[in-house]
Amino acid sequence: MRILVSGPPAVGKTRQGILLSRELGLPHVSSGALIREAAAAGEPVARRLLDIVADGSLAPSEEITRLVLERLSAEDCRDGFVLDGFPRKWQEAEGLLDHLRPDAVFVLKADATILRERLDTRIRQGRADDDPRALRRRMDAYEQETRRAQLVFRLACVPVHAIDAAREAGDVSRDILSRLPAREPVDASAPCFS
């Protein structure tokens, strides 16, 4: 099962990714964590990506797509994965689809007031990429870019589900689990819409 979790900053993507990973027995892959881990390992490209992301900008599509696809090609992802935070741009969605087809995309949504409260909490906890100015840029980038990436999946007949993420994390996780597609392979030649 190949699951993507998408949504704006502070909506709970990583938390849901971890919960789903545990429930389904699949590896959790976070694009942000990949960048941080590669930078900590001394990879110069990842260090540059980390600086870009910390500023609130989106990472260059080619470099982040390469990093994500490299991780998803690992043996532990052979039977599936839960990927959060990627793709953020339509080019990345197309790049992902060139190599693999997700079984479902879950788009977490919450009211702006709730997101601001969660962001304030994260800022107090001191996450490096949660500088208030960087966060505003990340929110703008989400509005402009990530919704277009979701459209790419819809046009490719990948099920895209909107999920109310304003609820308790367990309720959100149960909602996602209830919407998972059947495990049988999808007929790629079948029409998207009936």
66-108 tens-digit pLDDT: 999 999 999 999 999 999 999 989 999 999 999 999 999 999 9
Mean pLDDT, residues 185-191: 51
pLDDT score recorded for residue 124? 76
Task: Give dist(CA 181, CA 101) in Å, integer.
Answer: 13
**How confident is the model over 114-171, as pLDDT tens digits?**
888 887 787 777 665 556 677 777 777 787 788 889 899 999 999 999 999 999 999 9
Residue 190, pLDDT above cutoff 60: no
pLDDT score recorded for residue 186? 47
What is the topology classification, in CATH, of domain 2-176?
A: Rossmann fold (3.40.50)
Q: What residues are designated binding site for ATP?
A: 122, 167
pLDDT band at 55 (very low <50, low <70, confident <90, very high): confident
Q: What residues are designated binding site for AMP?
A: 31, 36, 85-88, 127, 138
How many other CB atoms are found less than 10 A from the CB of residue 181? 13
Residue 187, pLDDT above cutoff 80: no
Return the minimum-mean-pLDDT range out of 12-26, 47-61, 91-105. 47-61
Domain positions in the chain are 2-176
* 42 Ramachandran zone, left/alpha/beta (phi>0; psi -120 to 50): left
pLDDT score recorded for residue 121? 80
Query: pTM for the full model?
Result: 0.85
Q: What residues are designated binding site?
A: 31, 36, 85-88, 122, 127, 138, 167
Task: Give dist(CA 35, CA 128) in Å, integer.
Answer: 13
